[in-house]
Amino acid sequence: MSGPTKHIDIKSAVKSFGQIHAVGGVSLDVHAGECVALVGPNGAGKSTLFKLILGLVRPTAGAITILGQKPDRPSFEHVRKFIGFLPEQVLFQGSLTGRETLHFYTRLKGESSDRIDSLFQTVELVDAADRRVSTYSKGMRQRLGLAQALIGRPDILLLDEPTSGLDPASRLNFYDIIEAHRAQGTAVLLSSHALTELEARTDRVAILSNGKLVADGSIEALKSSLALGSKIKVKAAPAQMRQLSQRFANRCDPKNFLNGVAVLSCPQDEKLSLLKGLMESGIPFEGIEIIEPSLEQVFASLTNGGGNG
Ligand code: ATP
């Protein structure tokens, strides 16, 4: 049985601007119904990769196939209407209202304007629909940008830092919208610097550093491949802290016993046996907290500041 359709298929893509190798041999797939986060330091090549997918810049080398077509061919014009794109900098004509703006983009995509009201509902901008865009806040412009990207129920959503400028409630709404589109088979590729919020929201994370893909996998798989350890924080009274430091000397650094909190470290697969050891030690403690490695740690250990920016 064949798997889900590969909507984005990038093989060894290179894009150089003179001496700058913005994208240096990247291979990346995104299937229908998948949500992949593209992360990387400033200048790592994320926006350039989006431009390659859209056919806005031509690859120096490599093969890019989007919905079965090559973006650098004239025939790709017909494919573009199936791609929703939210650029990093959303620039709208301030003198137009939000509704006029969406009408403009709807016509540009050759779509019917029947869904404009529902798009305003989706991005929670109904009350501002008939106000001039010049009166919108940054977050409101960002939400209008998202509505623009959603016109025509695209097969691919390319979102360049979509949550920048959004307040926490709007961020939650944003990920609900993405989830609904993903469930209908849209392939979503989004770039973000907000690593914490990606953890529970994306299927895979692709990490770019200096134009190269240094990781591509589920967050869980990345964490275990890097052997990033877990930490267990134990809160205890001073006398018990001494007992803990003696009993678990191999699990901690003395400087990790501070202010009544001991931080014990272990490989992820030894976490349960360490917990069991703590319970069976008979040392009375006041509280326990397990801290798993974060996406920030994965990112830091893989990129090491690798941007061209
Ligand atoms: P950020 O997180 O800051 O948005 P990014 O990962 O999106 O960064 P890109 O905008 O793709 O990074 O830039 C990658 C590199 O390519 C940078 O060094 C940038 O200066 C360079 N670059 C991008 N576009 C051009 C261009 N048109 N001409 C010359 N250099 C460019």
Sequence spans of domains, the chain: 6-224, 229-292
pLDDT of residue 2: 58
Q: Is the CB–ligand 1 distance for residue 309 below 6 Å?
A: yes
Task: Look up tokens 């990781």; give the residue.
Answer: 215
Atom of ligand 1 nearest to the CA of 41: 2
Q: Which CATH number fits domain 6-224: 1.10.510.10, 3.40.50.300, 2.30.42.10, 3.80.30.20?
A: 3.40.50.300
Q: To test the ligand 1 pocket, which listed residue (21, 26, 46, 90) has its Cβ within 8 A of the most ligand atoms?
A: 46
Q: Which of 159, 131, 135 is nearest to 147 (CA)?
A: 159
Q: Is the CB–ligand 1 distance for residue 212 below 6 Å?
A: no
d(CA 252, CA 265): 6
- Higher-confidence residue: 201 or 136? 136
Q: Is the CB–ligand 1 distance for residue 154 below 6 Å?
A: no
Helices (H), 151-303: 168-183, 195-198, 219-225, 238-247, 271-280, 295-303
Cβ count within 10 A of residue 265: 17
d(CA 105, CA 301): 41
CATH architecture assigned to 229-292: 2-Layer Sandwich (3.30)
The rounded percent of the chain whose pLDDT value lies above 70 is: 95
Cβ count within 10 A of residue 68: 10
pLDDT digits (tens, 9 = 90+) for 137-180: 999 999 999 999 999 989 999 999 999 889 999 999 999 999 99
Ligand 1 atom 17 nearest Cα: 43
